[in-house]
Amino acid sequence: MGGEIAIQTRGLVRRFGDLVAVDHLSFEVKSGEIFGVIGHNGAGKTTTVRMLNGVLAASEGSARVLGLDPAADGVSLRKKTGVLTETPSIEERLTARDNLSLYAAIYGVPERQVALRVEDLLATFGLADRADEKAGGFSKGMKQRLALARALVHHPEVLFLDEPTAGLDPVLARSVHDLIIQQSETAGHTVFLCTHNLNEAQRLCHRVAVLGRGRLLAMGSPQELSRQWVTTLKTTLEVEPTRADEAIQWLETRGVEVADHTVPGHVTIQGVSREGTPDLVRSIADQGIPIFAVVPQEPTLEDVYFALQGEMDVAA
């Protein structure tokens, strides 16, 4: 991941009448970074992507993508970016092969490279055996794959993906994840990923921005966000099975919530801070209860997202 800035916004605002869809949004995305944007429907994700590609003009503020002003240089910029919208439209009267060939021509892929590029993408997305069938007869998942292949046909430097695995089965979703990682790590391209799939964002993204009603609520790596916004851990204690009930009783008398104890000798607690866990474990051992293992469960982006619900309500 390079040190250059691929995307930059400063106080970006977009209004639709009285509705503020994007509210003074400021962030930077490094070249080669997989940058995730998560948030509920209406959070401003799609509107932001449209402004960054010069499809919508900003009401206030500024943006730069690959050093270009989307508002003034939209045509030049869109030759350098690939976009997959949440509900992609494809040319349903054309075959898969012709769809890709058409967009390769539109984006100026050299004619001598088009056939090989199209064949590679058809194979990558599992469409080779349906290449000469009209896209109108494809399933939702196949149309999604074709739209993603189309977004990549001209080797874009920045790839904007809005729910790229929607409608895909787990095997194909995994292949798309691998492709996204490859775009970043091998090709050095920047990926701007909008998703409702928090596990997807956790797995793929170097950093994540959480939006609420168009405002930036939090931003950082998944690990940084977890430590900042989730102050307590869920932790499993492996104790001597014959002393588990005693450990549970001792914990509950001290107000510690026991979340699960269905596995013999395993007691899962929650609501204890990271800093307070060592003292709690020590106090259990002081009761003479053998503890064989302490396994903390690190917070996930899902935990962060729900911890931010209060901030989202304020944003609303």
Would you say domain 5-227 falls under CATH 3.30.470.20? Answer: no
- The pLDDT of residue 87: 79
A 10 A CB-CB count for 167 gives 14
End-to-end Cα spacing for the chain: 35
- The pLDDT of residue 230: 87
pTM for this entry: 0.84
Compute CA distances 172 → 49, 118, 125, 151, 164, whole Å: 24, 19, 8, 17, 11
Cα–Cα distance, 298 to 276 (Å, whole number): 15
The proportion of the chain whose per-residue pLDDT surpasses 90, expressed as a percent, equals 74
- pLDDT (tens digit per residue) in 114-167: 999 999 999 988 899 999 999 999 988 889 889 989 999 999 999 999 988 887
Q: Which residues pair with 65 in a beta bridge?
A: 7, 68
Whose CA is closest to 284, among 316, 312, 252? 252
Give the pLDDT means over successive 10-residue stretches in the chain (316 positions): 87 96 97 95 92 96 97 93 87 96 93 95 93 94 90 94 86 87 90 93 96 94 91 91 94 92 94 90 94 91 84 57
- The pLDDT of residue 104: 95
- The pLDDT of residue 308: 87
- The pLDDT of residue 3: 72
Beta carbons of 122 and 96 less than 8 angstroms apart: yes
- The pLDDT of residue 311: 63
Q: What is the CATH number of domain 231-298?
A: 3.30.70.1150
Cα–Cα distance, 108 to 94 (Å, whole number): 19
Beta carbons of 205 and 183 less than 8 angstroms apart: no
- pLDDT (tens digit per residue) in 90-107: 999 999 999 999 999 999
- The pLDDT of residue 58: 96
Cα–Cα distance, 55 to 48 (Å, whole number): 10
Angle, vertex CA 198, rays to CA 193 and CA 201, nearest 5? 40
Beta carbons of 64 and 7 less than 8 angstroms apart: yes
Same fold, 5-227 and 231-298: no
Domain boundaries, the chain: 5-227, 231-298
